[in-house]
Amino acid sequence: MTQDGARGRRGPLRVVVALDSFKGSVSSAEACAAAREGVLAVSPEADVAVVPVADGGEGTLAALEPYGSRGSTPSIDLLGRSTLAPYVVLGDTVAVESAHTVGLPLLGEPTPERARTAHSFGLGLHLRGAARLTESHRALVGLGGTGVTDGGVGMLLALGAHVWTESGEPLWPDGRPHGTNPLLLHPTRVTLPQLECTPVGLADVASPLLGPRGAARMFGPQKGADAALVDELESAMEVWAQALSDAGAEVAGTPGAGAAGGLGAAVLAIGGSLAPGLETLLRETDSEQRFASADLVLTGEGALDSQTSEGKVPAAVAKVAHRLASGAGTRTSVVAIAGRVDADADALALMGLHDALPLHDPPLPLPDALDRDVTLAAISRAAARAVSAHLAAG
């Protein structure tokens, strides 16, 4: 046995590596592998547990696939283009990932014109097809990283809802999307579908449907909405929230209802529930116990900023790590690695993070920062720095 230098306990340093993907550069699995190399470069005897993670967005199926079986079903994306959408089956549960049908990268360049076009009909087809093909009774629906702000109107229509506009006309009566964001058609009445498969929306975002932290105002701009369109979306979302309430679904104020452009509200409206994405994935894969005895947890993603505290992977990992370590009577340090760190020490502490290390200081030009090999090498170096600092702190 060796002295690990941390808190005077004998034995190898115990590290959990749980990094999210660095969007546009490396996957969660690749980032974790690079961080593991950095840990072992400094502490060769360290006990390193690698946990690929996701917050319900891109990478959710990749994290689940080693524990289940993969299939696919025909669907369309948020702009109406045909696609083959994957799913993963775990027992009587099927998992789908909204990023495959309505993900932000599928939008291309986010513009007001595309924000007026994008819809979630394809996610409804994706969920319906996966549930029917697998005869599953429960569906995990990853809700992160979407490029839509339609309140889930499109998804509900694909699942069999009937929706009417303020003029009394049925919305998309032929059962096909008409190339526009259906929320902007001002749906005022809805008959909700009955599903045999109970959906569980995976979302680490706790935003309500409406207001300054809601689907339109907080997240609409990153999906292409300018100030005028944000106001229009918010107004239409208020009408849609009332339509859901009139249909017996008083969901607008529920934390997470505003996730994924309002898809959280749609999941709740059809009798589903919302659950923290990361914690749910850890339970489904029986990975939680790895955090209980960790001396050091390394997490991270592309950027640490104000949205991280809204339930993004680093904050969610820190929450899980501290909860499990406290239950086991151990002390754990949580350090984040990020392409960009826009948070001071107080903000990091509120997220449960002891430190945050930027990949590049000073920042690199964007093309260089997105280079896969450059990113992996930087993650490895940052992990090595984190371990060295941890051991030096004793």
Q: Which two tokens stand for residue 340?
A: 């960009």
pLDDT, one tens digit per residue, over 241-297 is 999 999 999 999 999 999 999 999 999 999 999 998 888 988 888 888 889 889 999
Mean pLDDT, rounded, for 132-151: 95
Cα torsion through 19, 20, 26, 27, rounded to 10: 110
Confidence of residue 307 (pLDDT cuts 50, 70, 90): low
Q: Give CA separation, 381 vs 17, 34, 37, 394, in Å.
A: 14, 9, 9, 20
What is the reported pLDDT for 3? 37
The strand pair at 162-165 and 355-358 is best described as: unpaired
Burial letters for 369-393: b for 16+ Cβ neighbours within 10 Å, e otherwise? bbeeebbbebbbbbbbbbbebbbee
Q: DSSP 3-state assignment of 309?
A: helix
pLDDT, one tens digit per residue, over 94-104 is 999 999 999 99
Q: Give CA separation, 9 vs 5, 27, 293, 352, 385, in Å.
A: 7, 34, 12, 23, 21
**Pairwise CA distance, residues 269 & 82, whole Å:** 27
pLDDT > 70 fraction of the chain, expressed in percent and rounded = 96
**Pairwise CA distance, residues 222 & 232, whole Å:** 16
What is the reported pLDDT for 54? 80
What is the reported pLDDT for 311? 63
Residue 6 has pLDDT above 80, yes or no: no
Q: Give CA separation, 249 vs 192, 361, 391, in Å.
A: 9, 49, 52
Q: DSSP 3-state assignment of 154?
A: helix
Which residues is 303 bridged to in the sheet?
340
Query: Any idea which of 37-41, 122-126, 229-233, 306-310 has the lowest mean pLDDT?
Result: 306-310
What is the reported pLDDT for 4? 42
What is the reported pLDDT for 310? 62
Q: State the distance between the two ends of the chain, measured CA to CA, in whole angstroms.
A: 17
pTM of the model: 0.83
**Pairwise CA distance, residues 184 & 228, whole Å:** 13
What is the reported pLDDT for 244? 98
Confidence of residue 230 (pLDDT cuts 50, 70, 90): very high
**Pairwise CA distance, residues 119 & 234, whole Å:** 16
What is the reported pLDDT for 8? 45
Residue 65 has pLDDT above 80, yes or no: yes
- Which of 57-61, 202-206, 348-352 has the highest average model confidence (pLDDT)? 348-352
Domains (range + CATH), the chain = 14-51+290-393 (3.40.50.10350), 60-278 (3.90.1510.10)
**Pairwise CA distance, residues 119 & 183, whole Å:** 9
Query: Alpha helix locations (H) across the chain?
Result: 28-42, 60-64, 99-102, 112-115, 121-134, 153-158, 215-219, 227-246, 263-269, 277-284, 289-292, 313-328, 345-350, 366-369, 372-393
What is the reported pLDDT for 367? 83
Round the average pLDDT of the chain to a whole number and report it. Answer: 91
Confidence of residue 128 (pLDDT cuts 50, 70, 90): very high
Q: What is the length of the chain?
A: 394
Task: Give, in degrees to the nearest 5, the angle at Cα 198 between 94 and 192.
Answer: 130
Burial letters for 327-344: b for 16+ Cβ neighbours within 10 Å, e otherwise? eeebebbbbbbbbbbebe
What is the reported pLDDT for 10? 53
What is the reported pLDDT for 232? 98
Q: Which residues contact residue 48 at a Cβ distance below 8 angstroms, ignoring those fewer than 6 apart?
A: 15, 16, 17, 36, 39, 40
Residue 213 has pLDDT above 90, yes or no: yes
pLDDT, one tens digit per residue, over 360-377 is 888 888 788 888 999 999
Q: Which residues contact residue 45 at a Cβ distance below 8 angstroms, ignoring those fewer than 6 apart?
A: 2, 12, 13
Confidence of residue 309 (pLDDT cuts 50, 70, 90): low
What is the reported pLDDT for 16? 96
Residue 158 has pLDDT above 80, yes or no: yes
DSSP classification of residue 92: T
Mean pLDDT, rounded, for 7-16: 74
